[in-house]
Homo-oligomer: A and B are copies of this chain.
Amino acid sequence: MCRWLAYSGSPIMLEDIVYKPAHSLIDQSLHSKLGVETTNGDGFGIGWYGHYDTPAIFREIGPAWSNRNLRELTTHIRSRMFFAHIRASTGSAVQQTNCHPFRSGRWLWMHNGMIAGFSEVRRELTLAVSPALYSFIEGSTDSELMFFLALSLGLQDDPPRAVARMVGLVEEVGRRHDIEHPVQLTVAVCNGESMWAFRYSSEGRSRSLFRSTDIEGLRALYPGNPTFRRTSDDARLIVSEPLGGVPEAWSEVPESSYVIARHGRNEIHPFEPIAA
């Protein structure tokens, strides 16, 4: 499993979110509190929007905690929307093409969770990827495959619906293979303007997911941080586990729901798979 964070708001140096908070994502790479493993050292990645519609990605196979390039980049790169992810492999190879976030055009995708019995259902699910997209698959993870399935099922038009169809498909194929709980996920997806985050599992016991309550909460969280004092009120964070030491700044995303963050709005909706 993995840990991740997603930011949307006024432009901010990445290090202010990725490194500086107490129990930052970097700290979680060694000492995750709510993850399946305490260590998330099987690669990492960041994706951010800058001068172009297409985001940049930087992904590496070593642990985040010791990576000097990550430290450099987050100190020098500002962005209004970015993802950061640390990976704990559940068996697939530690390689750059298995690191999150994944990108397709303007879209970024990252994931924590798993498709249960992946080796049994991988082939059938891969066949469901649009032939036009198929040859862009580069890695061997369930996470990347979920992204390509969602793209094949309309992610760019209606993200919540496409993710619901993807999950419905994974559940159907899994159950046909006698897999009791086919899917477990917290997924973040964005296109440079809006950001969606999903929390769902077939079992109804999904991995942890939290969102920042509001920018006032963040300011309380980092009273000495000049960046947050300057941050616009529409800043939003969605995280696998809370950063900082102010629990009130975070609210748990409920089971079977998803969050939309855009233009200062921060809505929450129920999430239900759509049967294939």
Contacts and interface: CB of A to CB of B under 8 A. Distances in A.
Interface of A: 13, 30, 37-39, 41-42, 48, 50-52, 56-63, 65-66, 68-69, 72-73, 75-78, 89, 92-97, 118-120, 122-123, 126-127, 131, 134-135, 137-140
A52 B77 CA distance: 11
A176 to B, nearest CB: 14
A271 to B, nearest CB: 28
A80 to B, nearest CB: 14
B76 A73 contact: no
Interface of A is mostly: mixed
Contact of A95 (B30, B41, B75, B96): B96
B66 A97 contact: no
A13 B89 CA distance: 27
**A56, A57, A75, A89 interface centre (most CB from chain B within 10 Å):** A56
Contact of A56 (B75, B135, B140): B75
A132 to B, nearest CB: 10
A65 to B, nearest CB: 8
Contacts of A131: 123
Contacts of A77: 77
B60 A63 contact: no
Copy tally for this chain in the complex stands at 4
Contact of A63 (B51, B52, B63, B137): B63
Given A56-B75, A62-B94, 14 more contacts: A41-B65, A42-B66, A48-B76, A56-B72, A58-B73, A59-B68, A69-B69, A93-B97, A93-B138, A95-B95, A97-B140, A122-B135, A138-B140, A139-B140
Nearest to A13: B51
Contacts of A140: 97, 137-139
Nearest to A89: B66
Contacts of A52: 76
A73 B94 contact: no
Nearest to A123: B134
A72 B93 contact: no
A120 B73 CA distance: 29
Nearest to A138: B140
Contacts of A72: 56-58
A170 to B, nearest CB: 15
A59 B66 contact: no
Contacts of A76: 48, 50-52, 56
